Amino acid sequence: MNEETKHCDNPSCFCRGFGPQATAFAEHLWSKATCDHFRNSRIEFLKGLRSLIDERIDRLSRRAEPKGTTVPVD
């Protein structure tokens, strides 16, 4: 980010050089309810990713060698 111009210089950046100005612009176009819906959708998307990661960790943990030893009891 260029401190003098206050926008991103990277052409592949999503903000396309608008940076904070894009947020201010969107606030004028969208109602608070609309912003809340998009914010909640981002949260739910991240929760979905977390769920996928947790499931993968569980599967990998089950495949691991059992810890400790088995001792027969007479």
CA distances from 50 to 21, 23, 27, 37 (A): 31, 27, 29, 20
Domain boundaries, the chain: 1-30, 31-63
Residue-wise pLDDT tens for the chain (74 aa)? Answer: 444 444 455 555 555 555 666 666 666 777 888 888 989 999 999 999 999 999 999 998 887 676 778 888 87
What pLDDT, on the 0 to 100 scale, is given for residue 6? 45
pLDDT at 5: 41
What is the per-residue pLDDT for 1? 43
From first CA to last CA, the distance across the chain in angstroms is 71
